[in-house]
Amino acid sequence: MPGGKPGDHPLTDLLVHGIRAFPPDMEEMIRRLHNANRKAFDEPEALQLLCQWENGENLDEGRKWLRRRLGIQDT
C-alpha cells in the first residue's frame, strides 16, 4: 500500500509534495476541485485519469472532465 511518499499517488504528489506534473491550467482545476470536494478523486476512474494526465495523456479530455466536475462551461 502506498505510504504517501513522492511517486505513490499523483494527487498526493501535487498537493502534499508540490510536484508539478500537470499543465498549470489543469493543476489549478485539480486543486479547486479537491478543495471543493475532498472525495472528488477517490473513485478508481479518477485515479486512472490523474495518472494519464500526469503522463501527458488525454489532456484535452481531462480538461473537459475537470470543467464538468467544477460546473464550468466549455468554450
User: Is 66 in contact with 58 (CB distance < 8 Å)?
Assistant: no
Q: Report pTM.
A: 0.86
What is the residue extent of each domain of the chain? 10-70
Given this model, what pLDDT does residue 59 score?
Answer: 98
Tell me the H-state helices in 1-75.
10-15, 24-36, 44-54, 59-70
pLDDT at 1 over 50: no
Given this model, what pLDDT does residue 8 score?
Answer: 79
Given this model, what pLDDT does residue 31 score?
Answer: 96
pLDDT, tens only, 5-59: 887 789 999 999 999 999 999 999 999 999 999 999 998 899 899 999 999 999 9
| AA identity, residue 16 | V
